[in-house]
Amino acid sequence: MHSAEHDGGQGPVLVIGATGKTGRHVVTHLRRLGADVRAVARGTTPVRFDWFDESTWPAAVSGARAAYLVDAQNEHAADRLRAFVAFAAGHGLTRLVLLSARGWADSGEPGMLATEEALRGSGDAWTILRPTWFMQGFTEDDLLRAPVRAGTVRLPAGDGAEPFVDARDVAEVAATVLTQGGHEGVVHALSGPRALPLAEAVDTIARATGRPVRYHAVTADEYVADLTGRGVPEGDARFVARLFTWIRDGEDAHLSSGVQDVLGRAPRDFTDFVAEAAATGVWDA
């Protein structure tokens, strides 16, 4: 039963990061489910929210019964989340759904799960979503969209495969767990239906657009040089390179069943995503 009334909650569902790749679709899905939604980001009106401006927090959480959390995505993310969790609890808001990342969990690297740990400190009404790479990286993030448009996608991903997930599926899962009982204290790992080698992902785009787009496997150092040449700070470039070498090493290729488990249907396929996106002209030079 997918009903906003199902958990008996009152008051709006707060969506933080509501202008982003997942957040704006979380808003759409929540409304479809009949929920009252308070969609916030740094520039929204009348209510705005900034992780780094606590004066924006009271109006955001006031009367809210549940919240979708896209964290601050920098080195302060866990601290900010810990402060927010305490603040929200003081205002009666404890049903919290955090967008994390499957790779963070699988990496085993210390510190990568700091935001998840901050959320777990909130009690037992949290849910964590751990998606794989979003398909929308190819349409909404310059990291992948710009090279596709330019016709040459150089990445240190070798022949490694990634089960890209559609951000709309992640959002639909989020909206469902925000409005249904039964997901408290649960971690859902979410992937697309099949792992695609980067060369195949790029070929799929080339075929759908009719444009020559080629994938070239490069070393991590070559990639870091590419990114720093485009003005990316070296530390950030090394971090992104690490994410791709993870794919290269086969660490991220396994499938996860979260979309099927929560929505009772298969996740969207990359080929369908690409056909839709190509029709919008997003990759036209």
Ligand X SMILES: NC(=O)c1ccc[n+]([C@@H]2O[C@H](COP(=O)([O-])OP(=O)(O)OC[C@H]3O[C@@H](n4cnc5c(N)ncnc54)[C@H](OP(=O)(O)O)[C@@H]3O)[C@@H](O)[C@H]2O)c1
**Residues near ligand X, by CB under 6 A:** 17-23, 41-43, 49-52, 70-73, 99, 101, 131, 133-134, 137
Alpha-carbon gap, residue 39 to 17, rounded angstroms:
8
CB of 258 to ligand X, least distance (A): 12
CB distance 12 to 64 below 8 Å: yes
- Nearest residue (CB) to ligand X, 5 versus 109: 109
- Tokens representing 130? 């751990």
Q: Which residue has the tokens 């690409």?
A: 274
Distances (CA, A) of 162 to 154, 159, 253, 265, 282: 16, 10, 5, 20, 22
In this structure, is the dihedral angle defined by the CA atoms of residues 150, 155, 158 and 160, taken in order, positive or negative?
Answer: negative
CB of 278 to ligand X, least distance (A): 19
CB of 11 to ligand X, least distance (A): 20
- Nearest residue (CB) to ligand X, 71 versus 172: 71
- Please identify the residue of the shown chain whose CB is closest to the bound ligand X: 20
CB distance 127 to 98 below 8 Å: yes
- Nearest residue (CB) to ligand X, 69 versus 224: 69
- Nearest residue (CB) to ligand X, 9 versus 130: 130
CB of 70 to ligand X, least distance (A): 4
CB of 103 to ligand X, least distance (A): 7
- Nearest residue (CB) to ligand X, 11 versus 137: 137
**How close are the terminal C-alpha atoms of the chain, in Å?**
44
